[in-house]
Amino acid sequence: MTFLTTSTLVLLSALPLAAQTPSSPSRPAQIILIRHADKPADPGDPHLSRAGVKRAEKLVPFVTTDPAMIKFGLPVAVFATHTTRDANGQRTQETVAPLAKALTLPVLAPYLGKDYAELATSILANPRYASKTILICWNHEEIPQLAAALGVTPQPPKWKSSVFDQVYVITYRNGHAVLMTSRYGPR
| CA distance readout (Å), 105 to 1, 96, 135, 167 | 27, 10, 11, 20
pTM of this prediction? 0.86
Cβ count within 10 A of residue 118? 13
178 or 13, which is more confident: 178
Residue 136 scores a pLDDT above 90 = yes
CB 48 within 8 A of CB 91: yes
Angle in degrees, CA 65, 55, 177, rounded to 5: 60
CA 158 to chain centre: 15
- Give pLDDT tens digits for 89-127: 899 999 999 999 999 999 999 999 999 999 999 999 999
| CA distance readout (Å), 74 to 70, 100, 167 | 6, 11, 16
Tell whether domain 8-183 is in CATH 3.40.50.2300: no
